[in-house]
Amino acid sequence: MAPKRTSTSAAPAMTQATIQQLVADCVAVALEAQAASM
């Protein structure tokens, strides 16, 4: 099963919860990096 990459559906397999989790992880990493650089 090859993953389809179309412009109509960017990520059909990813749910809203998965996207929110990824965003939360990215924000946490960014905050940790900013705190470490200060």
For residue 8 the two structure tokens come to 């109509």
Q: What pLDDT is attached to residue 3? A: 62
Q: What is the pTM of this model?
A: 0.51
- Residue range(s) defining the domain that contains residue 19: 14-38
Residues 6+ apart with CB under 8 A from 19: 11
Is the four-CA dihedral 33, 34, 35, 36 of positive or negative sign? positive
Q: What pLDDT is attached to residue 8? A: 57
Write the single-letter amino acid at 11.
A
**Number of CB atoms found within 10 A of residue 31's CB:** 10
Does some domain include residue 37? yes
Count of domains in the chain?
A: 1
pLDDT tens sequence across 1-38: 666 655 555 556 668 888 899 999 999 999 999 999 88
Give the separation between CA 20 and CA 13, rounded to whole angstroms.
14
Q: What pLDDT is attached to residue 37? A: 87
